[in-house]
Amino acid sequence: MKVESRTIIGAFVFLVILAAAYWAMVATYGHTAERSGIAMLIFSFSAYGLLGFYLLAQYFRRHGTPRVEDRFDATQEEGAGVIDYFPAASIWPAGMGLGMIFGGCALVWGLWYLYIGGILFIGSVIGWVTESDYTEDVLPGIDPAELADHEVPSGPSLPHHG
C-alpha cells in the first residue's frame, strides 16, 4: 500500500501546486471570468487527497507488516488460501444496465420511460443483492472464519517494524 498511497498523494500535491499557481496567475493577469478552472482543480486535488490519504491510513493500519503482494521476496506458497469470492454468471447486471438505459431515454423522450427503467433498476438491485449469500454459499470444507482471517490482521498482536 506504500507505493499506491505515495503515487496518489504525489498527484494530490502536484494538483495543489498547480491550482495555487493557476489561481495566482489568473489573479495577476486579470481573467476574472475564469473561475471554473480553479473550481475544477480544487475538485481534482480533493478527490485525489481523499483516496491518497485513505490508502495511507490502510498502510498504517498494518503496522509495518506488508501484504504478500507488497513484498519483493514473497513466494506463491505464502499467499496460499482463499483470495476472495467471485460471483458466477449473473443476469442482474444486464437488467440494471437496461434500467439505466431506459432512465437515459427518459431524459430524451419523456419521463414515462422512468416507470420501465425504475422497475427494471429496482428489481435488478433486489435480484443482485439477494443472488448469492456470502455466508451460506461458501463451498463445503471452507470455514467462513477463514474468510475473515484473510482481512487485515489486527494491530496489537503483530510485532512493530517501525
Partner 1 sequence: MTLLEDRPQPPSEEHNPLLMDIVPGPRPAGLVKYITSTDHKQIGLNYLVTGLLAFVVAGIMALGMRTQLIVPNNHFITADVYNQLFTIHGTIMLFVFAGPFGFAGFGNYLVPLMIGAPDMAFPRFNNLSYWLYLGGFSLLMAGFLTNNGAAQFGWFGYAPLTEAIHSPGPGGDLWLVGIALTGFSGIFSAVNIITTIFTLRAPGMVMFRMPIFVWNILVTMFLVLLAFPVLTSAFALLWIDRHLGGNFFNTQKGGQPILWQNLFWFFGHPEVYIIALPYFGVVTEVLASMCRKPVFGYKGMIAATLSIGALSMGVWAHHMYTTGAVLLPFFAAMSLLIAVPTGIKFFNWIGTMWRGTIVLNTPLLFSIGFLIQFLMGGVTGVILAQPVLDFQLHNTYFVVAHFHYVIMGLVFGGLAGLYYWYPKMTGRMFDERWGKASFILLLIGFNLTFFPQHDLGLRGMPRRIETYNAGLGWNFLNELSSIGSYITGLGVVATVINLVKSYRSGPIAGDNPWDAQTLEWACSSPPPDHNFEALPPIRSERPVWDANHPDMLTKVGH
Q: Tell me whether residue 4 or residue 63 sits nearer to partner 1 (CB atom).
A: 4
Residue pair 66/77 in contact by the 8 Å Cβ criterion: no
Report CA 97 to chain centroid distance, whole Å: 20
Please give the residues from 12 up to 71 whose contact with partner 1 meets the rule CB under 8 A: 14-15, 18, 21-22, 25-26, 29, 31, 33-34, 36-37, 40-41, 43-44, 47-48, 55, 68-71
How far is the C-alpha of 161 from the C-alpha of 89, rounded, in Å?
Answer: 43
- Find the binder of partner 1 among 57, 74, 119, 126 (CB under 8 A): 74
**Burial class, 73, CB count within 10 angstroms (exposed 0-12 / middle 13-18 / buried 19+):** exposed
Specify the DSSP class assigned to residue 67.
-
- Find the binder of partner 1 among 57, 64, 81, 122 (CB under 8 A): 81
How far is the C-alpha of 1 from the C-alpha of 9, rounded, in Å?
Answer: 12
How far is the C-alpha of 90 from the C-alpha of 84, rounded, in Å?
Answer: 18
Q: Tell me whether residue 63 or residue 113 sits nearer to partner 1 (CB atom).
A: 113
Report CA 1 to chain centroid distance, whole Å: 14
User: Does residue 120 touch partner 1 according to CB under 8 A?
Assistant: no
Q: Tell me whether residue 109 or residue 145 sits nearer to partner 1 (CB atom).
A: 109
Residue pair 128/90 in contact by the 8 Å Cβ criterion: yes
Please give the residues from 127 up to 146 whose contact with partner 1 meets the rule CB under 8 A: 128, 132-134, 137-139, 142
Q: Tell me whether residue 100 or residue 116 sits nearer to partner 1 (CB atom).
A: 100
Closest separation in Å from C-beta 110 to partner 1: 10
Please give the residues from 82 up to 111 whose contact with partner 1 meets the rule CB under 8 A: 82-94, 96-98, 100-101, 104-105, 107-109
Closest separation in Å from C-beta 53 to partner 1: 15
